[in-house]
Structure 1
Amino acid sequence: MTEADRGTKSTEILIGDPERFKRLMEEFRIAGPSRIAAIVDYDGTISPLEMNSWDIPGLSNLDWPTIAGKLRRSAKIGEISEDEFWLQSISSLNEKGFGNSESTFEDVVVHLENACLLIREGVHNLFQTCSQLGRFIIYSAGIKAVIEPHVAKISQIADISESDIPSVVSNELDGSNLITISGKTGTTLLHELDKQGVNLNGISHFVLIGDSIGDARMSDGLQAEAVIKIGLLSTAKAVDPSIKASYIDTFDIVIVSDDSIEDANTLIEQFFDS
C-alpha cells in the first residue's frame, strides 16, 4: 500500500508503509536530536539533480567531458553496480594523469573556485537543522579535497559555526595522489566507506537522505537501533513505474522533486518535537 501526498510546491510524497513510517518517526522523536545522526548524500542530493555535470567536480566529472560522457552514455549510477561505475571512473581519471600530475589537481581546484555553486532549494535550511543533531555527515562519490570547500561554503552561508560544519566522508588521494575509495576492500561497496574518522559515540539513530538506490546503504557497517531512509526521486524517473516502485520499496519515504529539499528538512525538524 502506498500513501501519496503533496509536499511543498509541486513535490509528491510517497510512503510505502505509512504505519511503519509513523512508528519510526515516533521512535526518533523519543530518542531525541542528540542521539540522531544525519547522513546526506552530496551528488544529486545537495547539488541539483541532472544539473551538476560540470560545476561540481566528482569522480566522473572532473572537467573531462570525454571521460564523463563515455561513462554516462554506458551507465548511470544506480542502474549498474556501484563498484563497476566508480572503479571505471577512478581508472579513467588515473590513466588521464590525475594522480601523477600536480598541475592537473591544481586545475581542478581552480575550476572548483570558479564554479557556480549549484545547490537545491532549501539546502541552507537543511544544514541549519542537521547541524543541531548529534552528528551531521556528508557523503560524496567525488573527491573529499574538492567537495569539502563546497560544504564549508554552504555551511558559512547557512550561518553554521565552524565546530558544527558537517564531516565529509568521501574518496581521497593516497600517498602517490592516486584516487582511492576510502575504506574499500575486496567486494565492499562504495557506500560502506571507512567511517572511523567520524565520532559516532552516543549515536543510535540515523536518517539518510539520498537520490540513488545505493544511498539507502549509507549507514551500512554502523551500529544502529533505527534508520529512516529518505529518497529523492526526479520527476523524469518517476514516470517509470518500475523505478518508482523500486524507490518506494527501498526508502521509507520518497520525495518526488527536481529542485527542492525542503520536504526532507521538514521531516527532520519533527525530531525536535517533544
Structure 2
Amino acid sequence: MSQRPNHFEMRPMTSPPLLSPSPYSSLLRLLLSRRRRPTPPALRCRLPFLTAAMSSSSSYSTRNHGSVVADADGLARKVAAIRAAGPAKLQVIADFDATLTRYWYDGSRGQSSHGLLRQGNEEYDAKREALFEHYHPIEICPDIPLPEKAKLMEEWWEKTHGLLIEGGLTYTAIRKSVVDASIAFRDGVVELFEFLEERDIPVLVFSAGLADIIEEVFRQKLHRSFKNIKIVSNRMVFNEEGRLVAFKGKTIHVLNKNEHALDMAAPVHDNFGDPNGSTDDYSLVKKRTNVLLLGDHIGDLGMSDGLKYENRIAVGFLNNNIEKSMKDYSEAV
C-alpha cells in the first residue's frame, strides 16, 4: 500500500553501486545458456539482498555481499533443468512494488503504486495516510500469523479503495501523481524485459497495487510497450468523465495473489495502442512449467500456486526487517 520516506530505518544493501549493470538479464542468461558452468554461480549476478527460496533447510549460505542461497545444490539442479528445457518452457512471474521497482529512491523510501497516488483532495489523502499509519506496521510485522494478517490486509485495501471512490479520484490525477512520484524501476529491469520479449517468454506482473497506475508508470518511465507482459492487479472502472466509480473483481492484497485467476490479466501493450497483439497465447501459459518467481514478500510465493510447475526458482528481495526476517525468507518454499 502507500509508502512514505523513513529516514530512521536501516538501509539494506540495495544502492546501485553495489549492483551489476544488468542483474536480471544476467540471471536469465544463466538460466537459458546451454554452456556448462561450475556450481553454483547461480546468483553471482548480485541481485540486491536476494534470497533464493529453495528448501526448508535451516542452514543457508550467504554469497556475494548480500545474496543468500538456502540449497545451493538444489538451485543448481533447477538451473540445469530450466536450461535443458529452453525458453519455450519458461515464464516469469513478478511482483511490482519494491520488486521491479526500487525500494530506495534518491536516499529515501521509494513510493508504491498505492503510495504515489494523490487524489487532488487533501482530506482524502490524509485519510489514506492514516490507514497506512495503522496497517503498515501490521503488514511488515513477522510475528503476526498469516491468516490473521490476511484478513487485516483485505480490510485495509477495501477501506482504501472506498476512499478513492468517495474522494472522486480521476484519471487526470493518476497521470499527475506518476509525473510527481518518487518511483523508478530497479537497475536491469528494462534489459530483463527486452531479453524476455526477444525470446517470447511471458511475464505476469502480479501486484496488490493498482493496475491503472502501474500501466501509467510503464508509460511514463519506460516510454514503450512490451508485448509479452501482462498485469494482474486491482483494476479501476472510470465513468465517461474520467472519474473512478468502482473496482473490478475481488480485491487483491499482498497475501492473496494466488486466489486470482490468470484471466484477470491484462496485457500492458493494449494500453499503448499496440495493434499487433501478443505473440504468446496466454492460454498456453499454464503449459510453461518452469517458473522464475520474483517478489519481496513471503506472500508472493503464492503467485505461482495456480500453476503445475516442474521447476520454480523463487527470488525474494528482503527490503526491511532484515535481521528478523532473514531466517523466514531463507526457509520459505
For residues 308 and 296 of structure 2, the distance between their equivalents in structure 1, rounded to whole angstroms, comes to 23
Matches within 5 A, 1:172-187: 172-173=235-236, 177-179=245-247, 182=250
Residues 100 and 167 of structure 1: CA distance in aligned 2, closer, same or farther (over 3 Å): same
User: What is the SS of the residue equivalent to 1:139?
Assistant: strand
Aligned partner of 2:62 in structure 1 is 4
Of 289, 293, 300, the match for 1:204: 289
Residues 163 and 74 of structure 1: CA distance in aligned 2, closer, same or farther (over 3 Å): closer
Return the letter of the residue paired with 1:24.
K
For residues 155 and 251 of structure 2, the distance between their equivalents in structure 1, rounded to whole angstroms, comes to 18
C-alpha deviation, 1:105, in angstroms: 5.2
Structure 2's unaligned 5+ residue stretches are: 1-58, 119-124, 239-243, 266-281
C-alpha deviation, 1:180, in angstroms: 5.3
Residues 137 and 3 of structure 1: CA distance in aligned 2, closer, same or farther (over 3 Å): same
C-alpha deviation, 1:103, in angstroms: 4.0
Could you tell me whether the CA contact under 8 Å between 1:83 and 1:189 is conserved in 2? yes
Aligned partner of 1:134 in structure 2 is 201
For residues 137 and 251 of structure 2, the distance between their equivalents in structure 1, rounded to whole angstroms, comes to 28
How many residues end up aligned between the 2 structures?
A: 235
Residues 118 and 189 of structure 1: CA distance in aligned 2, closer, same or farther (over 3 Å): same
For residues 20 and 133 of structure 1, the distance between their equivalents in structure 2, rounded to whole angstroms, comes to 27
Matches within 5 A, 1:244-263: 244-250=326-332
Residues 210 and 79 of structure 1: CA distance in aligned 2, closer, same or farther (over 3 Å): farther
> Equivalent pairs: percent with the same residue?
19
2:93 equivalent to 1:39: yes
Could you tell me whether the CA contact under 8 Å between 2:256 and 2:302 is conserved in 1? no
Aligned partner of 1:193 in structure 2 is 260
User: What is the SS of the residue equivalent to 1:99?
Assistant: helix
User: What is the SS of the residue equivalent to 1:177?
Assistant: strand
C-alpha deviation, 1:154, in angstroms: 4.8
C-alpha deviation, 1:196, in angstroms: 1.8
Aligned partner of 2:180 in structure 1 is 114
Return the letter of the residue paired with 1:237.
N
Residues 228 and 28 of structure 1: CA distance in aligned 2, closer, same or farther (over 3 Å): same
Aligned partner of 1:229 in structure 2 is 314
The normalised TM-score by structure 1 is: 0.72
Bigger radius of gyration, 1 or 2?
2
Residues 183 and 205 of structure 1: CA distance in aligned 2, closer, same or farther (over 3 Å): farther
The normalised TM-score by structure 2 is: 0.61
Residues 116 and 244 of structure 1: CA distance in aligned 2, closer, same or farther (over 3 Å): closer
Deviations 1:77-120 (A, max 9, x none): 77654632431222322442x22454455423421233244222
Aligned partner of 1:17 in structure 2 is 71
Deviations 1:170-220 (A, max 9, x none): 112368833456487xxx923332212551514121110111111111101
Return the letter of the residue paired with 1:108.
I
Structure 1's unaligned 5+ residue stretches are: 252-274
